[in-house]
Structure formats: C-alpha cells, structure tokens
Amino acid sequence: MKYGKYAPAAPARASYKHALTSLLAGCLLLTLAACGVVRTGRVPDPDERVDVWTESEIKIPAFPQPQNLIAFEGVRGSSNRYYIDAASLSIGKDAVVRYTMVIDVAGGTRNISYEGMHCEETTQKYYAFGHPDGTWSQARSGEWRSFDVQDQSRPYRVLFMDYFCPGRNSPVVTVERALDLLRNGPRPPASN
C-alpha cells in the first residue's frame, strides 16, 4: 500500500481535531456554567427580572448631640472612646444601616462621621465628616469599601458582628433592636 508523502500526518491531524473538539466543548461548558445552566439545570429566561441593588437617597442628619450618644467598645483595649448617635441611626430600604459615629481620640480630638454599612457586601461608606463648629462636609470619596471582619483594630468589625449585622448577610431587623443592642450590649445566643 502506497501512502504518498502526506500519509504519516493523518494520525496527527486526528489528534488535532480531538484536541480542538475538547477545547470547544470545554468553552461551551464554561459559558453554560456562567449563565447558570449547569448549576441550576435550566436556561435563564431573558425576560426574567433580576433585582439590581441600588443605594437609597440619603439625607445628612442633624449634628450629634451629647445626650444622644451611645458608647460602645469599638476597638478592644483602645484608649479611644467610640459612640453612635442614636438619633442618626436608620436602616434604609436598600438594607444599609446608616449612623453617625463619634470617636474621642485619647489626645483630645473628636472625629465625627456619617457612614453607612452594607451587611450583605461587608462594606462601609463615608457620607460626611463633622467639624467642631457643628457643620458637615461631604466625603470626597463616596465609594463603598470592603472591611475585614477579622480585623480586631477597626470599630467596623464590632459594629458589624455585634450590633448592625448579627445575621452577617442582613442588617438588624429594626432600629429599635440595634439601639437595644448598643445600649445593653450584644448577648450570646441562647443555648438549648
């Protein structure tokens, strides 16, 4: 049997076709997985409504008054004093807990900021900063910032874990519940 000068390449050509078919099949599986078909077993409906999170409009609250400040242990072992202004605490329709935080620094400085915490995303945002004359200035960066709930050196961890996001993915049910936790301290879960 005479093969001609191109016959030895036939097995290599078959191997190339097999590799190309495997590559295309892999790409198709990745595409379907990204669309949710592999995970859910159904093709997504293009008319199906997908809820996209949008942040609610915010209104900067009144400047904090001393009688409305609730102390909490923001950073264990810190000489700073941490407070939440009870009058500013709110939970928006967007599931963001908004609050004014006051930090009395050991050297005598007072830092005041109006902030938001998005429990589901474990993020925090500054809206405004307070000045000694009782006025607010808008924060330069209105970006949401991730924070590490394991970082013991930040008050956000304590607010997240103990007061505002006890379910970790959702905020406290009501402002009253958050205020109760702040005033009376977080309680360990009841044992059975």
For the chain, which residues make up each domain, given as ranges? 15-40, 66-184
- Predicted confidence band of residue 39 (pLDDT cuts 50, 70, 90): very low
What stretches of 24-165 adopt beta strand conformation (E)? 69-72, 81-85, 90-91, 96-104, 110-118, 123-130, 136-138, 145-146
Where residue 167 falls among pLDDT bands split at 50, 70, 90? confident
Pairwise CA distance, residues 170 & 188, whole Å: 18
pTM of the model: 0.69
Taking 70 as the threshold, does the pLDDT of residue 49 lie above it?
A: no
